Amino acid sequence: MTEIEVKNISFSYEQKIPVLENIAFCAGTGEAIGLIGANGAGKSTLLKLLVGLDLGYTGEIRVGDVVLGKKTLAAVRKKIGYVFQDSDSQMFMTTVEEDIAFAPRNYGLSREETALRVERALEQVHIKALRDKSIYKLSGGEKKLASIATVLSMDPDIILMDEPSVALDPKNRRNLIRVINELKGIKIIASHDLDFIWDTCERTILIHNGRIVCDGDTEMILRDKELLEANGLELPLSLYIRR
Ligand SMILES: Nc1ncnc2c1ncn2[C@@H]1O[C@H](COP(=O)(O)OP(=O)(O)OP(=O)(O)O)[C@@H](O)[C@H]1O
Ligand SMILES: [Mg+2]
């Protein structure tokens, strides 16, 4: 199984204002890591860099034994499934089914295998009924579920999810927690839904102003009121019912 190593990544979009500074961490086989931090902290930017959407950073990202770069981009992308924060950026085919089939088909799987993958992904997030629906006619939550299914059908070694629980009703949110917990590869999940992180990730990385403030046990971090508040966050709501 693949590992990820992020070595001292620094990045800015424009005007040299740093958005990420000296980000360093490793993710081992089967690890699930929550990425938390206030609006604008740099979570989505970090995920985008991990999937190679912008290569203009200093430092190094290694996926397995491959260093991410122009020449290795295609090979690295094949291993990574990425759920965008904005589902509209994710899907571009006409129907839900076509979108979910896109990655497996593109990676050269047979028609039969692709059909199986599509069926499984539709089932996993409970959207079989939406199979033939145009992606432009989906509700907000349906769109999120479909975008997650497009990644599940890839069966990737690494899954990066940006705000996967946004717009989901309680039942679909609970189902997604179960689906994520059954996935075997490396998972990195950025979210403001700290309870979702609690239920899916044993480890959490807290980012503030583009820097890692804390990297450790999720429960320790999410119970630390002072730490959370010092970094623009609040205790998870469910803390009042958790022991
Ligand atoms: N394409 C871009 N061009 C210029 N600046 C950008 C761009 N995308 C993001 N930024 C800036 O980079 C910083 C980090 O943004 P990012 O989207 O990574 O934050 P985030 O932690 O994901 O926030 P949120 O919780 O709101 O999703 C912000 O200050 C944002 O304004
Ligand atoms: Mg974001």
pLDDT at residue 150 greater than cutoff 60: yes
> Which one of 16, 23, 43, 233 would you pick to mutate in the ligand 1 pocket, going by the greatest count of ligand atoms within 8 A of its CB?
43
> Which one of 21, 36, 44 would you pick to mutate in the ligand 1 pocket, going by the greatest count of ligand atoms within 8 A of its CB?
44
163: alpha, beta or left, given left = phi > 0 and alpha = psi -120 to 50? left
> Which one of 12, 17, 19 would you pick to mutate in the ligand 1 pocket, going by the greatest count of ligand atoms within 8 A of its CB?
19
The per-residue pLDDT for 118 is 97
- 42 Cα–ligand 1 center, Å: 6
**Tens of pLDDT along 18-54?**
999 999 999 998 999 999 999 999 999 999 999 999 9
Q: By percentage, how much of the chain surpasses pLDDT 90?
A: 90
How many domains are there within the chain?
Answer: 1
pLDDT band at 243 (very low <50, low <70, confident <90, very high): low
The per-residue pLDDT for 91 is 87
Query: In this structure, which residues have their CB less than 5 angstroms from ion ligand 2?
Result: 43-44, 85
pLDDT at residue 1 greater than cutoff 60: no
Q: How far apart are CA 225 and CA 221, in angstroms?
A: 8
The per-residue pLDDT for 2 is 58
Minimum CA distance residue for ligand 1 atom 25: 39
From the CB of 44, is ligand 1 less than 6 Å away? Answer: yes
Mean pLDDT to the nearest integer, 152-165: 96
Mean pLDDT to the nearest integer, 225-240: 93
- 162 Cα–ligand 2 center, Å: 7
Q: How far apart are CA 132 and CA 137, in angstroms?
A: 11
pLDDT at residue 14 greater than cutoff 90: no
Domain of 81, CATH number, reads 3.40.50.300
| Statement: the pTM of the whole predicted model exceeds 0.75 | yes
Domain that holds residue 120: 4-240
pLDDT at residue 128 greater than cutoff 60: yes
**Tens of pLDDT along 51-84?**
999 999 999 999 999 999 999 999 999 999 999 9
Report the Cα 51 to chain-centroid distance in Å. Answer: 10
Taking a C-beta distance cutoff of 8 angstroms, is the pair 121, 146 a contact?
Answer: no
From the CB of 41, is ligand 1 less than 6 Å away? Answer: yes
Taking a C-beta distance cutoff of 8 angstroms, is the pair 148, 83 a contact?
Answer: yes
Q: How far apart are CA 153 and CA 75, in angstroms?
A: 17
147 Cβ contact partners less than 8 Å away, ≥ 6 residues apart: 83, 84, 87, 90, 91
89 vs 125, more confident: 125
**Tens of pLDDT along 177-229?**
999 999 999 999 999 999 999 999 999 999 999 999 999 999 999 999 999 99
